[in-house]
Amino acid sequence: MWSWILAAIGVTGIFLVGRKTIWGWLVLCVNECLWIAYALATEQYGFIVAAVAYGIVYVKSFMHWKNDDAISETAVEATKSVPDVNKLMEKQRDFE
């Protein structure tokens, strides 16, 4: 029963990450802590290795995700300072 609940929490976390909310990462990391508790309670220690591995992947992915957001915001700000080509073309004169 508990493994089904933990699996549902994990799917919820992945769904939230797909919606680009920071809560998804938090749900996923908390879920891995719950998997570790489950592994200890049921003496299925292989789950601990998996939970630690998933946790590392989640943290690294979160760091990339935050970095990508920062880069995207910087790119948006940079494009604001680029002159509008259409306005430049309107001011161009033909010298025929």
The one-letter amino acid code at 54 reads Y
pLDDT of residue 51: 95
Task: Read off the pLDDT of residues 31-71 as tens digits, 9 standing for 90 and up.
Answer: 999 999 999 999 999 999 999 999 999 999 888 888 876 66
The angle at the Cα of 89, spanning 88 to 92, to the nearest 5 degrees, equals 95
- Supply the pTM of this predicted model: 0.66
With contact defined as beta carbons under 8 Å apart, do 19 and 37 qualify?
no
Tokens for 17?
């990450």
Task: Read off the pLDDT of residues 75-95 as tens digits, 9 standing for 90 and up.
Answer: 666 666 666 666 666 666 666
Tokens for 55?
């946790």
